[in-house]
Structure 1
C-alpha cells in the first residue's frame, strides 16, 4: 500500500531527495481512505498484513498522529499488522505515547535508513543522525515489540576502510542491543550506486569532469 508520496529530506544518495524532485510536493492520503483499502483487501482476499511502500510513511509527525488516531478508532491493531519506513531523527522526537500508539495499532516493523556507523559519513550524506541516536531509537522501538530493519550502504564516496569497519561493528552492536528485547533487529545492506539527478550523482559528475580536465590539461 501507499499512504503518502514525496519526501521532505535531502539525503545525498537518494533518488527521492527533495533537491532532485523540486516539483514534487508531499501528498498524504486521508487515513479513512487508507483504512477503507485495508478493509476492502481483507474482505476480498482475507489480507491481514500490509506493507506501506512510501518513501517515508512514518516521516511526518502530524500525518502519523492522524493515522494512529484513525487506526485506534476502528481497532486496526486488533485485526491487522503492518510495516513501514521511518525517519530516525523524527521518530526520536516522538513521545512515548506516540510510539506506544504505533505498537498498539499493529505496527510490526519499521525500516530505518541508518546507512553508516560513521558520524563523518552521516554528515556527508545529510542524514542528521548519529550512532547514539540510532541506538536509542532502535532500543525504544524494539522494547515495544516493534521489529527494526536497518538499511546500510557500503562503498560510499570518500568512505575509508576504517569507516566501513565501523559500520559493520554498528550492525553487530544493534544486534547485541536487541538480543533480549521483545522486538528484533535485522540489517539490509546495499552497495552504493549513484542514481541520476540526486545530490551525490551531481557531485560525482562534477568530480569526474574536473579530473578529466586536469588529465587533458584544459
Structure 2
C-alpha cells in the first residue's frame, strides 16, 4: 500500500473542464442498479451532481487539476467497486478545526449517510454550488461544509493561508487549518448543541484529537497523515 504524500501549497488552481467519463457511460446499467440497491438500504441518498477531477499537478506553491461533472451514483459505484478508473480522482476540501488548546475537532458521520461511522473533518465532494465561473472554489466549499455540519460561520474562525494536500490513492484531500478561539471541550459542546436542534443531523458524534494517540481506524488515511504531520514536532 502506497503511503500518503502531503504537499503544502498556498494556491489552488482548479479549472472546470467538462468532459465525458467513459466509466460512467459504459457501466450505466450496472451503476443504476447499484445505486437502487444502496438507496434501498439508505433512502436518504440522493443522486445529485458532483465534481471529480483529472490531471493533478503539484508545483512548489500550487496545486492544479481539471474538474468535471458527473452524478453521485457513478461516483458511489466507482468508490464501492474499488476505483476501477484510476485516471480520475476525488479532490475535495476539508476544514481542520483547531482550538486554542491545540485540539482538532472531527465529526462522526451518521448511520444514514454514505460514509456512516467514518470520522473526519467537515468536508464534502464538490458539487455545482462550488463552481465560480470556470473554476472550482474549494475554499468556498470548505466554508459551506463547515457551516452545514457544525453551525460555524466564517466569522467564527481564522482560515490559514496554506493548504495541506494529502494524496492517498485516488483521493486528494485539500486540508486547511481553521483556528477557533476556546477549548476543544467548549467547541465540541457548541457543535453538539447545534446538532441537537436538527431533525436529522449529518453527524452522529463529535471527537477531539489532541495527539496521535487519539487516532482511530475509523479515520481515513488522509486524515491521520495530516494529524501525524501536525504533531510530528
Structure with more of its chain in strand, by fraction: 2
Larger radius of gyration: 1
TM-score, normalisation: structure 2: 0.30
**TM-score normalised to the size of structure 1?**
0.31
Q: Which has the higher contact order (CA 8 A, sep 6+)?
A: 2
Which structure has greater helix proportion? 1
